Structure 1
Amino acid sequence: MKLGLQLGYWGAQPPGNAGELVAAADEHGFDAVFAAESWGSDAFTPLAWWGSSTSRVRLGTSVAQLSARTPTSCAMHALTLDHLSGGRAILGLGVSGPQVVEGWYGQPFARPLARTREYVDIIRQVLAREAPVVADGPHYPLPYTAEGATGLGKPLRPITHPLRADLPIWLGAEGPKNVALAAEIADGWLAVYFSLRMADQYNSWLDEGFATPGARRSRADFEVAAGAQVIVTDDPAAAYAGIKPILALYLGGMGAPELNFHATLFRRMGYDAVVDEVGERFRAGRRDEAAAAIPDELVDDIAIIGTAEDVRTRIGQWEKAGVTMLVVGCGSTAEIEALASLVAG
């Protein structure tokens, strides 16, 4: 099992010890570190800054939001980071949700699957650098010829030669069609919340993508990176309590009531009543009550918490279910060292 360190996106200020965490991850055998973005800090700049002092660990966006950049701009970011890091970049992409896409980026959210397919195709053209980049659209037409165009647009290829044409592209996905699309056109899947309860369904969705004619990968060379809190403790109740406020935010506040992909995922796990109650309390401003409405069982479904032996057993179960990397959040270098030793042991 590989380990990835999730640095996430920034709150009101940059995190104080991220550089130390990245150095520890590089030293203790973590495979990758990841940075995210929402509507504040971006995902690429922290990786370039913190990655400059590392030599081995891969640098991934988890995730870069499609609507934040045109596909050619995103490809420029990725190929630049790949050169600066000596070929260690992973381009993790995600569609986000309509509140962010339309409210922050001012872009239409409709047809996310089709947009993702077009977006990835254009990025791969840039990275291949075999010919000037062209795209028929309808979402990202190149050259642009619609209303307001000058008619002077010219197909171009990148001035900078990409370091790798096969720079890995991973998709953040939660629904069946998105997960299948990841297996069809990408090199890996970033699973925001993985659960053994859902493993058979996840694998059936992936298999659907692998079976598509022209699929890029097979299960043998496809990476499944599952986000998870992995906590070794003799007091699991305290660990559950610490995770519940974050879950309440994602279930109740990261999306519109009528379209929240995280909430939909937990409904698929069988937590309809919990999702309804958490959402109602969170939107009413009763955030502590929203967190309290989340049962320990739900947390246990998507986290690995317990004694060292319990954690080893659970990690083995996740690996058997198809997970190739655990993407974990760690607050200290001691946690990173302990987790690396546990997995290695």
Structure 2
Amino acid sequence: MRLGLQLGYWGAQPPEGVGERVRAAEAAGFDAVFAAEAWGSDAFTPLAWWGRETTRIRLGTSIVQMSGRTPTSIAMHALTLDHLSGGRVVLGMGVSGPQVVEGWYGQPFEKPLARTREVVDIVRQVLRREGPVTNDGPHHPLPYRGPGATGLGKPLKPIVHPLRADVPIWLGAEGPRNVAQTAEIADGWIPIFYTPRSAEMYRPWLDEGFARPGARRTRDDFEIAATCHLQVVADADEKARVLDALRPVVSLYMGGMGAKEANFHNQVFVRMGYESLAREVQELYLGGEKDRATALVPDELVDDMHIVGERGEVLEKVAAWEATGVTTLMLSLGSVEEIDRVAALLA
């Protein structure tokens, strides 16, 4: 199991000290650094900016929102950054949710699985550069022949010859059908709220995808990149404080990151066995009672989602995550000192 540094997406202002953390992660032997996007900072620019002073570490998007760019535009970003970095890009993509897709990008959210399949196929056509890129699907037709079209659209292939035809494509997926499709068509999977306790829930969904005709990968060469916070603490009191600090993020995704009618993150917690909790947290959160919602999230859930404990406990937990098939552990680490401590601990 390799280590990745998860930068996430920005808050109200650009974070400080990121360049130093990225360089420290490379020096410490981390395999990759990942950047995310929501409705503020994008995922590609930070990797280009802070990755320019690195030479080895992989640069991954975790994740690019498919509705924010056309498939060929996504491919152009990946192609360009792959050249600039010397072949170090990992293209992580996902569909996001209807609030963001329709509210921020002004695109329809319908049929996310079919859209994902089309996007992946088009990106791979661009990167292979075997001929003009075309797509007969209804979501991203190339050439475009729909309302307002001039009829002059011409199938094209990229001017720039891609450095690699096989840039790894990892997909963010949460539900059974989406996870199965990811195992079928992608090189890796970026789960959210993946834990050793919930890992068995996903196994049959992944196996279904691997078993489909033409599946791209098998379990042996498929990547699973899970995100968590890792912190070594001195005693139980410090652990309690750390878990308490992580609790608001859990309640945000359980209760507030999505509409009541369609919160895919909330449904992950339901599948994990927290149905009544997820419902109550969502009711309180959407009702403006965020503190009450957060107070309901139990320590055992936060503890399961992250790796926090004294040295021996952390080592045991890391081994447990690895045993479930996680190939890359993406860690949110806030300083060079934290990165160095983790690297020394897990060396």
TM-score (norm 1): 0.98
> Is residue 221 of structure 1 aligned with residue 224 of structure 2?
no
Residues 310-345 of structure 1 show CA distances to partners (whole Å, capped at 9, x for unaligned) of 11111111111111111110111111111111221x
How far apart, in 2, do the equivalents of 1:18 and 1:203 lie?
35
Q: CA deviation at 1:277?
A: 1.9
Q: CA deviation at 1:284?
A: 2.0
Residues 110-131 of structure 1 show CA distances to partners (whole Å, capped at 9, x for unaligned) of 1000000000000000000000
Q: Which residue of 1 aligns with 2:321?
A: 318
3-state DSSP of counterpart to 1:24:
helix
Q: Which residue of 1 aligns with 2:134?
A: 134
Structure 1 residue runs of 5 or longer lacking an equivalent are: none
Residues 124-168 of structure 1 show CA distances to partners (whole Å, capped at 9, x for unaligned) of 000000000000011000000111110000000000000000000
Amino acid at match of 1:206: L
Q: Which residue of 2 aligns with 1:273?
A: 276
| Equivalence map 1:180-191=2 (5 Å) | 180-191=180-191
How far apart, in 2, do the equivalents of 1:323 and 1:205 lie?
16
> Could you tell me which of 239, 249, 252 is aligned with 2:252?
249
How far apart, in 2, do the equivalents of 1:230 and 1:177 lie?
30
| Equivalence map 1:30-49=2 (5 Å) | 30-49=30-49
Amino acid at match of 2:41: S
| Equivalence map 1:8-23=2 (5 Å) | 8-23=8-23
> Is residue 294 of structure 1 aligned with residue 297 of structure 2?
yes
Q: Which residue of 1 aligns with 2:58?
A: 58
228-237 vs 59-68, greater mean Cα deviation: 228-237
Q: CA deviation at 1:212?
A: 0.7
Residues 274-313 of structure 1 show CA distances to partners (whole Å, capped at 9, x for unaligned) of 1122112211222222211100011122111111111111
Runs of 4+, deviation exceeding 6 Å: none
How far apart, in 2, do the equivalents of 1:247 and 1:314 lie?
19
Q: Which residue of 2 aligns with 1:262?
A: 265
How far apart, in 1, do the equivalents of 2:89 and 2:327 lie?
18
Structure 2 residue runs of 5 or longer lacking an equivalent are: none
Q: Which residue of 1 aligns with 2:173?
A: 173
Give percent identity, aligned residues only: 64
Q: Which residue of 2 aligns with 1:67?
A: 67
3-state DSSP of counterpart to 1:256:
coil
Q: CA deviation at 1:207?
A: 1.0
Amino acid at match of 2:260: P
How far apart, in 2, do the equivalents of 1:226 and 1:40 lie?
23
How far apart, in 2, do the equivalents of 1:214 and 1:308 lie?
44
How far apart, in 2, do the equivalents of 1:311 and 1:179 lie?
28
How far apart, in 1, do the equivalents of 2:317 and 2:264 lie?
26
Q: Which residue of 2 aligns with 1:124?
A: 124
How far apart, in 2, do the equivalents of 1:301 and 1:16 lie?
29
Q: Which residue of 1 aligns with 2:24?
A: 24
Compute the RMSD of aligned alpha carbons: 0.9
TM-score (norm 2): 0.98
3-state DSSP of counterpart to 1:197:
coil
> Is residue 105 of structure 1 aligned with residue 105 of structure 2?
yes
Amino acid at match of 2:224: V
Amino acid at match of 1:51: G
How far apart, in 1, do the equivalents of 2:25 and 2:196 lie?
26
> Is residue 114 of structure 1 aligned with residue 121 of structure 2?
no
How far apart, in 2, do the equivalents of 1:67 and 1:33 lie?
23
Q: Which residue of 2 aligns with 1:147?
A: 147
Q: Which residue of 2 aligns with 1:159?
A: 159
3-state DSSP of counterpart to 2:231:
strand
| Equivalence map 1:324-343=2 (5 Å) | 324-343=327-346
> Is residue 309 of structure 1 aligned with residue 312 of structure 2?
yes
Q: Which residue of 1 aligns with 2:287?
A: 284
Count of equivalent residues? 344
How far apart, in 1, do the equivalents of 2:85 and 2:2 lie?
20
How far apart, in 1, do the equivalents of 2:54 and 2:84 lie?
11
How far apart, in 2, do the equivalents of 1:337 and 1:124 lie?
37
How far apart, in 1, do the equivalents of 2:223 and 2:232 lie?
25
| Equivalence map 1:76-115=2 (5 Å) | 76-115=76-115
Q: CA deviation at 1:197?
A: 2.1
How far apart, in 2, do the equivalents of 1:157 and 1:37 lie?
28
How far apart, in 2, do the equivalents of 1:245 and 1:201 lie?
25
